Structure 1
């Protein structure tokens, strides 16, 4: 073969690979705040795989989730719409309607092979039979082509395993998909880890050699060994997610597909601790996100522009050259492919001034299964929160309903009644500690921040106060900023036709059926407890 012919073949091969549509590996952890990667300097967690993606790719320093809860947040990712735009398909543990077509369907019609492992767009109720004719049949994140699990012997040989971690063999399922389902098509694969969602194995951090002295406790939690240990058990599971992603990237490199794969790594909402998950505070809605694709996206960049989960769907469709018209409902978000393709870092797009988030119902935590509606605006410097029902308990009612029609106190002779109060906060050693020591003045302040009733509006300078401890909403010095951000938030809610603003039924979110466990709580007004937030 002549050198000319050989050279031509090489050039043709290179051009072919350049014209190939990229694979997309979307990795999402379950309940991880932005602060807990070693890339950003957290000293008590080690996330080398995330760090690699961020270092060789683009790290988004201000990625804001669609909601501080998993189901509505995942809904915003997959539809490119805010949770309040998706009816019950944006609400925790409700039904997924067919009309909310996920972007993966568009990718599939455009020639992508679709796969998934682990947690998808959940918890939602999908069609159970023909009677559920308006509901989607399959998970909005894609189909499980296999469901391999590790056996006990395998897990015993794997470092970093703790009993709270699921036995799902995420990598095994990914490899099966690539070898048996992908074919000759590009792929989109959803890796939905169930970690670091609770419960955790208590003191699992000791098995991996972590030390309490390395932990930096955020200012909204007491700085003691109980909380530190709980945080270390949490990051044990963060590291498990990171390790599973590493297996996938190593495999892609082995088969020559890594450089043709866009890797997107993020989380759905903040960590499962008081004042975080199910709260629109900074640690509840600010999540890690990094995207790696060295072939087209210059790496080593940190983007400070605020970006929203609603922007992910249009960006992925833009990357794939697929039209969003097939999604039936219009996308709200805007593609940030221009940022990925630029060589700039820091603040890149002046138009990215504000992003938005919100919540309604999380767990079953109040009378008649009511939620705690919040809408939030995050700018480059401030977080503005509208607590739309400030008369309700933000973390859930402090008392359960007794079958004998008597309210039962959260504390009974000094013993905390587990799982019966403030149930929008996941059960944990940290929550238990706050409740059991609520009579201590210092600890009571942390409890009040987590469960006490809040003012209608809250404003925080997130550069100076990332823990959201100092509410500036009533400060004359910040009055102008507050009114500006409030106006921008209301403008966006009107634009996106939030039922809480435009009606006609402003209470419709509380009417959507919940398909998970429902607790009973006494009617508001029967409670003698009076707690107000110290923020």
Structure 2
């Protein structure tokens, strides 16, 4: 009897969890990822950041319950190169034409999304992906990628302006119903596997319906006009129309969060929210100034990332791919060498402020944006950002930063349209000049009044040629109005930033620095509409 008793006890103990050395551990549930990215939104323009003229409850929730990064820098102040950096973990200048605006995406630049897909994740997207790029159209495009680098699209659910269900608050907002497409993906595509979903709103990209804000309770006096704009009701109204579109992006994110919460999925979903570059206004988008590359960024995952934190670490878009790969325990096989570094240690930390002091700098840059100069030349810039300073290298200071001030009239060989795009009646036509700046009431107001003594300084800030190097103290001068480059008091800072920037460009093989063809970026084919400009004198 005694032996039988001990035999029963042994059997029971052996069957308990942890007592069977041959028993396989239960697999841990891998986290889902919802990656939400707006199109053209500067860091300052969320209600969490203190903007009074915009209301972003979804972003605010992610930031409050998660981790808010105060210093996230986009890969570029333009959408295509910046998004290229996100999915490859590489600076856009490392990706040839696949890091340039409106060129082709080559097969060899494999995005992390593909690797997640191969590692058991179900991937998908809605709205804008990694674009604008030209993807393969048929078998003749054998070197080009066939599908968007952000994943397979689910964008069939759309608003119809002829129905009562069209709730869009402004005329030019995309008709893609982002939330319903996400819901369709969750209920018809995802199955029981972990998912990665890219929510790419097309807002607040222009065009805007002018004065759409007047149908809301917004007020001109609530707008905080940045110091690089004249304080005028036209500018304030333009920024309120911008806010309407940010709120549309946020509304669909809020619906996604509520849906995940209702289905019990939210706590196992990492939510990342950001934007690809700064606001579509003069001297911001397509410029490496603070408001052009500094974007909002927040992450929520209380299950493993201690929340309620504001973190000041420098974050680069190049860091996102390696971070997501590490989170999902996905290797990098197949991807080209990654330049960014995972920040999972920061996400898992309980600290606020600067968590990892070893990272002192982040880098950004631009080449070609729109078709805005002779032979489609760009305006190459490289930038280095520390916690306190921003240094911009304008590599071709002889070129116009916002695009040429005069365009050849379409349909003619050399007939020029009026200077600055101002017709005989004093009306500005945005497509006639400075076309690296999106058409906007703010742009037209500044150009039409460029000779006005009050407005002229802002015209110069946005359109005039710039020195080769610009240095700004971003704490004392957040609008980057006072160039410190060349000043003896800042010589040591300037030299350190220059040497660090050049070292990184050499390390990363930037053709503008190491060659062999330093002008190669201007040679890539552009697949978007072209404009003709006179040869510079």
The bucket for the TM-score relative to the shorter chain is over 0.9
Cα shift at 1:18:
8.6
Coordinate RMSD, CA, aligned: 1.6
Q: Which one of 134, 142, 145 corresponds to residue 125 of structure 1?
A: 134
Question: What CA deviation, in whole Å up to 9, does each residue of 1:375-409 have, x standing for no partner?
Answer: 00000000000000000000000000131523332
**Which of 179, 183, 196 matches 1:175?**
183
Q: Distance in 2 between matches of 1:404 and 1:116?
A: 43
CA positional deviation for 1:524: 0.2
Aligned partner of residue 399 in structure 2, secondary structure: coil
Aligned equivalent of 1:135, options 138, 144, 149: 144
Q: Structure 1: where are the runs of 5+ without partners?
A: 10-14, 526-535
Q: Post-superposition shift, 1:415?
A: 2.8
Cα distance in 1 for partners of 2:453, 2:190 equals 59
Q: Distance in 2 between matches of 1:221 and 1:462?
A: 17
Please state how far the C-alpha of 1:50 moved relative to its aligned partner: 0.2
Contact 1:146 1:176 in 2 (8 A): no
8 Å CA contact 2:155–2:176 kept in 1: the answer is no
* Equivalent residue number for residue 528 of structure 1: none
SS in 2 for 1:304: strand
Residue 196 (1) aligns with residue 199 (2): no
> After superposition, what is the alpha-carbon deviation per residue over 1:140-164, rounded to whole angstroms, capped at 9, x for unaligned?
0000145110223666663x62112
* Residue number among 365, 368, 391 corresponding to 1:358 in the alignment: 365
Question: Within the alignment, does 1:221 sit opposite 2:229 as a pair?
Answer: yes
CA deviations on 1:30-82 (whole Å, 9 max, x unpaired) are: 00000000001111110011000000000010000000000000000000000
Gapped runs of 5+ residues in structure 2? 1-11, 18-23
Does the CA-based 8 Å contact 2:159-2:165 persist in structure 1? no
**1:35 and 2:47 equivalent?**
no
1:58-207 paired onto structure 2 within 5 Å = 58-152=67-161, 158=167, 161-207=169-215
Match of 1:303 in 2: 311
The CA distance in 1 between the partners of 2:469 and 2:47, in whole Å, is 34
1:368–1:225 Cα change, 3 Å: same
1:462-509 deviations in whole A, cap 9, x for unaligned?
011110000000211101100000000000000000000000000000
Question: Are 2:159 and 2:166, in contact at CA under 8 Å, matched by a contact in 1?
Answer: no
Moved more, 503-512 or 471-480: 471-480
> Partners in 1 of 2:431 and 2:164 — Cα distance?
30
Secondary structure of residue in 2 paired with 1:302: strand
1:53 aligns with 2:62: yes
Asked which structure has the greater CA Rg, the reply is: 2
Aligned-residue offset at 1:83: 0.3
- Aligned equivalent of 1:416, options 428, 431, 434: 428
- Residue of structure 2 in register with 1:530 after alignment: none
Q: What SS does the aligned partner of 2:430 have? A: coil
Structure 1: distance between partners of 2:292 and 2:493: 22
TM-score, normalisation: structure 2: 0.93
- Separation in 2 of the partners of 1:141 and 1:375? 25
- CA separation in 1, counterparts of 2:135 and 2:146? 5
**Structure 2 Cα separation of the partners of residues 18 and 157 of structure 1:** 44
Write the distance in 1 (CA, Å) between the matches of 2:155 and 2:364. Answer: 34
Q: Aligned equivalents of 1:53 and 1:117: distance in 2?
A: 20
**How many Å separate the matches in 1 of 2:358 and 2:373?**
39
After TM superposition, the structure 1 = structure 2 runs for residues 272-421 of structure 1, keeping only pairs within 5 Å, are: 272-327=280-335, 329-402=336-409, 403-408=412-417, 409=419, 410-413=421-424, 414-421=426-433
Query: Match for residue 237 of structure 1?
Result: 245
Q: 1:156, 1:432 → 2: CA distance?
A: 35
- What residue in structure 2 maps to residue 517 of structure 1? 529
Query: Secondary structure of 1:270's partner?
Result: coil
Taking the aligned partners of 2:169 and 2:220, their CA distance within structure 1 comes to: 19
Separation in structure 2 between the aligned mates of residue 90 and residue 356 of structure 1, nearest angstrom: 15
Q: How far 1:416 sits from its partner (Å)?
A: 2.1
Q: Secondary structure at the match of 2:454?
A: helix
Q: CA separation in 2, counterparts of 1:177 and 1:406?
A: 52
Contact kept, 8 Å, 2:91 with 2:318, in 1: the verdict is yes
What is the Cα deviation at residue 324 of structure 1? 1.2
* Counterpart position of 1:529: none
TM-score normalized with structure 1 length: 0.94
Cα 1:452–1:109 change in 2 (3 A) is same
Structure 2 counterparts to residues 258-277 of structure 1, below 5 A = 258-277=266-285
Q: Which moved more, 1:403-412 or 1:74-83?
A: 403-412
Paired residues of 1:155 and 1:161 also in contact (CA < 8 A): no
* 1:167 Cα deviation from its structure 2 partner: 1.2
- Residue 351 of structure 1, CA deviation: 1.4
Matched, 1:507 2:519: yes
| Secondary structure at the counterpart of residue 266 of structure 1 | strand
Aligned position for 1:12:
none
Gap change, CA 1:231 and 1:253, over 3 Å in 2: same
Q: Shift in Å at residue 25 of structure 1?
A: 0.3
Number of residues of Structure 1 aligned to a counterpart in Structure 2: 512
Residue of structure 1 in register with 2:501 after alignment = 489
The residue that corresponds to 2:472 in the other structure is 460
> In the TM superposition, what is the alpha-carbon distance from 1:411 to its structure 2 partner?
2.3
